[in-house]
Structure 1
Amino acid sequence: MRLEGKSAIVTGGASGFGAGIVRKFAAEGARVMIADINIEGAKALAAELGNGALAQQVDVSRDESVSRLAAAAIMAFGKLDILVNNAGVSHQPAALDDISEADFDRVFLVNMKSVYLTARHLVPHMKANKAGAILNVASTAGVSPRPRLSWYNASKGWMINATKSMAVELAPIGIRVNAINPVAGETPLLKTFMGEDTPEMRAKFLSTIPMGRFSTPEDMGNAACYLCSDEASMVTGVAMEVDGGRCI
């Protein structure tokens, strides 16, 4: 029960890595708001977990939607201890100059602007409490970029840099900011990363991971739990690779 008495928001929490983080947080005693554009998925997971889990629809790319999320969480919990910026998208693998402006804008809004918007609406609350933990779910793509995913890679590199900058600025106030860098896993984004989901493409992708397997939602939940718990009270500005050796 390492998160007993804590409250958390997990964006993109209805599926994939986000759901893994939600499940771990709930198992460790936290009350969790599952924030997702897929409200039915969020409601189903909240009902399954119980323990005060709540569902909240959010479009993390829109200021008014994130503002409603922040207000709902503070009203429900009274105090927010943990924010996990997990929601993310990619574009299909393609030459960097062939990616459409619409696809670029979507990656920018969901992967980057969302971190600004959640900070804008929730960091003041954490400042008032002089405590809080923020976790950004970045990617190995921000450290060791894969070809034909240039703008996705860039968005995750931005997130890693934003994490470190936020950590330096907020540390004196008592707010810690970290990131985790998963390699691809069994999530809705896997097919996007590979271009096509075939046994051959999976084998090729797995050959780049020394441990020979994808990241799992459970892997992300375990890492997130540590970084957001009081056990990591001296850890801030870290981008932890949870990637089976992919970035070595």
Structure 2
Amino acid sequence: MDSETFLGDVAIVTGAAGGIGAATARMLAAHGAKIVLTDIKQALGTQVAADIGEAARFVAHDVSDGCDWKTVLSVAEDSFGPVSILVNNAGIAPTPTPLFEVSEADYRRVIEINQISCFLGMKTVAPSMIGRGGGAIVNVSSVAGLKAERGAIAYVASKFAVTGMTKVAALDLAKDNIRVNSVHPGLVDTPMVRPEGGAAAFEPILQFASGLPIPRPGSPAEIANLIVFLASKSASFLTGGSYAADGGWTL
């Protein structure tokens, strides 16, 4: 891909104030796309958009709120035109908790942010894509959308749901020239997996990673590379797929 790969494309990237989302937004912009970045972390998101420059706008966004999604789409269309790329990246990963200790409120919160957000995003943005003749949606799931993990009932449920929703959307939207795929990151060095406490607190995560076929955490850029590829015309024959980027964890 070169600096004009996404020339004329308009992208919405959620959870873009840092980590995988910020890396994806920067990469899409570097290849020519106009970007609307969204997140609840306003100061960080505004800074990422400022770093990208005139090709980017930031919108404070609760991804579980349908009205907020309509606002995001309006900003994108008013600023740059119809949307052609949607990256549903926003999500949360709660602390592992045994089944009987998970509250209903906590369970619902994970489902709303990780799963319902993807439904709202696809439902809201797809008509804009149809109006411009097609597009690409990439939903960021997780290895937990492919395999179970102890103490993560809400997270696993939400990410398996994203995997299935992606496949249904791929079928429903194929006639409209919209491709839909999911990406499944494993252990990636982002604020979500780096606990407070510095290097000592991160050591158990590094020890776990050392047992993977690729014995280290991934970087946000490595996941962004896959997302950007799936959004590009180079992936024009790919839809409904589930692509693990996990250092071999699911093996």
Q: TM-score range by the shorter chain?
A: over 0.9
Q: Give the CA deviation at 1:120.
A: 2.1
In 2: Cα distance, 1:208 partner to 1:75 partner: 48
Query: How many residues in Structure 1 have an aligned counterpart in Structure 2?
Result: 245
The aligned residue for residue 168 of structure 1 is: 171
CA contact 1:21–1:222 (8 Å) conserved in 2: yes
How far apart, CA to CA, are the structure 2 residues paired with 1:28 and 1:197?
38
2:149 is paired with a residue of what secondary structure?
coil
Q: Could you say if the C-alpha distance between residues 104 and 245 of structure 1 is closer, same or farther in structure 2, counting changes exceeding 3 Å?
A: same
**117-126 or 28-37, which deviates more:** 117-126
Bigger Cα displacement from structure 2, 158-167 vs 111-120:
111-120
Which residue, 54, 71, 90 being the options, matches 2:93?
90
The answer to whether structure 1 residue 246 and structure 2 residue 236 are counterparts is no
Q: Distance in 1 between matches of 2:240 and 2:17?
A: 26
Q: 2:237 aligns to what?
A: 234
| TM-fit CA distance, 1:78 | 1.2
CA contact (8 A) 1:14 1:38 kept: yes
Unmatched tracts of structure 1, length 5 or more: none
Taking the aligned partners of 2:210 and 2:29, their CA distance within structure 1 comes to: 34
Q: 1: distance between equivalents of 2:63 and 2:202?
A: 34
Does the aligned pair in 1 maintain the 2:142–2:184 contact within 8 Å?
A: yes
Q: 2:51 aligns with which of 40, 48, 54?
A: 48
CA contact (8 A) 1:206 1:214 kept: yes
Q: Which residue of 2 aligns with 1:21?
A: 24
Which of 110, 116, 121 matches 1:113?
116
**Residues 144-159 of structure 1 correspond to what in structure 2 (within 5 A)?**
144-159=147-162
2:28 is matched by which residue type in structure 1?
F
CA deviation after TM superposition for structure 1 residue 210, in Å: 1.1
Instruction: Give unmatched runs, 5+ long, in structure 2.
Output: none
The 8 Å contact of residues 84 and 128 in structure 2, kept in 1 or not, is answered as no
State the identity %.
36
Out of 27, 37, 40, the residue aligned to residue 37 of structure 1 is: 40
Q: 1:131 matched to which residue of 2?
A: 134
CA RMSD of aligned residues (A): 1.6
Q: What are the equivalent positions in structure 2 for 1:50-65 lying under 5 Å apart?
A: 50-65=53-68
- Distance in 2 (CA, whole Å) between partners of 1:12 and 1:42 is 9
Distance, in Å, in 2 between the alignment partners of 1:90 and 1:44 is 24
How far off its partner does 1:49 sit?
1.4
* Structure with bigger RCO (C-alpha 8 Å, 6+ apart): 1
- 1:125 offset after TM fit, Å? 1.6
User: Which consecutive aligned stretches of 4+ in structure 1 deviate over 3 angstroms post-superposition?
Assistant: none
Contact 1:91 1:104 (8 Å CA) reproduced? no
